[in-house]
Amino acid sequence: MIEVEGLTKRYGRKLAVDHLSFQVRPGVVTGFLGPNGAGKSTTMRMMLDLDNPTSGSVRIDGRMYHELADPLKHIGALLEAKAMHGGRTAYNNLLCLAQSNRIPRQRVDQVLDMVGLTAVAKRKSKGFSLGMGQRLGIASALLGDPEILMFDEPVNGLDPEGIHWIRTLMKALAAEGRTVFVSSHLMSEMALTADHLIVIGQGRLLANTSMADFIQQNSRSFARVRTPQPEQLRDALRGAGLAATETDNGTFEVEGSETEALGELAATHRITLHELSAQRASLEEAFMQMTAEAVEYHAHAGPGEGAPPAGPVPGQVPAGQGAPGAGQAQGPARGQQPPAPQTWGQDWNQGQDQRSKGA
Ligand code: ADP
Ligand code: MG
């Protein structure tokens, strides 16, 4: 178990981590989600005593990190851009770590086998691909057979096979009763891996919830109806007391009604339908709405480039591209300039508030 209490980190004027308090429990995968720059890596570094908190504390199984006699046997971690000695073989990298932490030599062979690097154990790690490097980093995290494991953005840059492997490993470790804490800036990734979710934005806690509850509360469901007779459908929906949002000419999003009932309604009014489908808003969207206020940078849309999104259309924001603060931050900090169209910032939220008042 990891207990974070009032954890705060200030770099000059920048408050990177802002009074965070939460617990990470054993037996489940806990996702640590937040846009780039939210303070995930800083929090994780403080958990490992690699950075000093400005205030607050972290306890690992009830103790401070520096009070742990053999830290690697309590907590193992893969941090971003794991530094390994490139001139050493994979085996020797792990052996050094084992010897300096009183871990038996045969454990090196075990973890190499667990991460699938046995065949390349005698190769120098500087020649490793990103995926192999991640596997070696994970091997070092597993070396002390710790009860607590922490992974900072472990799937970044991995191929699908590597991503699948890491997900399976994290779930297996949690199923063994270990505490597994994994960060990501992608909701789509967390949705597939995490049982519990801790969401932060600009260093602050935004949500601490089970994945199931997050989905339940944040994934809006609605029916999409498309017709060549929008006037008639609008009247029919109004007559039935149904709130609808017209997202495009002739396309409606209707909340609080099943597709069956809508099909009947259209038939009764002799309205032709070109589409009638049940939809669920993506979790990526829910995450982006939650963190919109807390994002440091917005993508910049050039003059005349595109228009604000018509509405919360599922699948409109591809995972990895529309990710909050994704990659190369370009825009100014929030508040210095109105958010440009095509971002998922305040404009979007406001638009949505208006639309949700009904068509
Ligand atoms: P995340 O891992 O969620 O992307 P980080 O923890 O890396 O976020 O960064 C949080 C904030 O703290 C960012 O604004 C980042 O620029 C800042 N920051 C992180 N490390 C340092 C540092 N060593 N010195 C100054 N600022 C830092
Ligand atoms: Mg980070």
Edge-to-edge, what's the strand order for the sheet holding 251-254? 244-248, 251-254, 221-226, 275-280
Question: How many angstroms is it from 201 CA to the middle of ligand 1?
Answer: 12
> Of the bound ligands, which one is closest to the alpha carbon of residue 45?
1
Write the class of the CATH domain 2-216.
alpha beta
With tokens 């305040």, the residue in question is 346
| Ligand 1, pocket-test mutation among 8, 42, 48, 184, most atoms within 8 A of CB | 42
Edge-to-edge, what's the strand order for the sheet holding 148-152? 75-78, 148-152, 179-184, 29-33, 196-201, 204-210
Q: What is the CATH number of domain 221-280?
A: 3.30.70.100
Which tokens hold the place of 52? Answer: 């000093």
- Which residue has the CA at smallest separation from atom 14 of ligand 1? 37
Task: Note the pLDDT of residue 346.
Answer: 31
Question: How many angstroms is it from 9 CA to the middle of ligand 1?
Answer: 10
Residue 170 CA to residue 29 CA, distance in Å, equals 7
Task: Note the pLDDT of residue 82.
Answer: 60
Integer angstrom CA distances of residue 28 from 41, 74, 173, 180, 234: 20, 17, 9, 7, 47
| Ligand 1, pocket-test mutation among 14, 50, 205, most atoms within 8 A of CB | 14
CA atoms within 13 A on the CB side of 266: 24
**286 and 221 in contact (C-beta within 8 Å)?**
no
Amino acid at 135: R
34 lines ligand 1 (CB under 6 A): yes
Task: Note the pLDDT of residue 159.
Answer: 86
Question: So where are the chain's domains?
Answer: 2-216, 221-280
Task: Note the pLDDT of residue 113.
Answer: 94
| Ligand 1, pocket-test mutation among 4, 7, 9, 11, most atoms within 8 A of CB | 11
Question: How many angstroms is it from 196 CA to the middle of ligand 1?
Answer: 24
Question: How many angstroms is it from 317 CA to the middle of ligand 2?
Answer: 22
**Which of 229, 169, 219, 174 lies closest to 196, judged by CA?**
174
Q: Are strands 2-11 and 14-24 parallel, antiparallel or unpaired?
A: antiparallel
Question: How many angstroms is it from 307 CA to the middle of ligand 2?
Answer: 31
Low-confidence ranges of the chain (pLDDT < 70): 81-83, 294-359
Q: At what angle do helices 90-100 and 130-142 cross, to 10 degrees?
A: 20
Q: Can you tell me which atom of ligand 1 is nearest the CA of 38?
A: 3
The count of other CB atoms within 10 Å of the CB of residue 248 is: 12
**Which of 6, 183, 179, 8 lies closest to 78, judged by CA?**
183
Amino acid at 295: V
Task: Note the pLDDT of residue 157.
Answer: 73
**Which of 287, 298, 306 lies closest to 339, judged by CA?**
298
Numbers of helices and strands, H then E, in the chain: 12, 13
Task: Note the pLDDT of residue 295.
Answer: 65
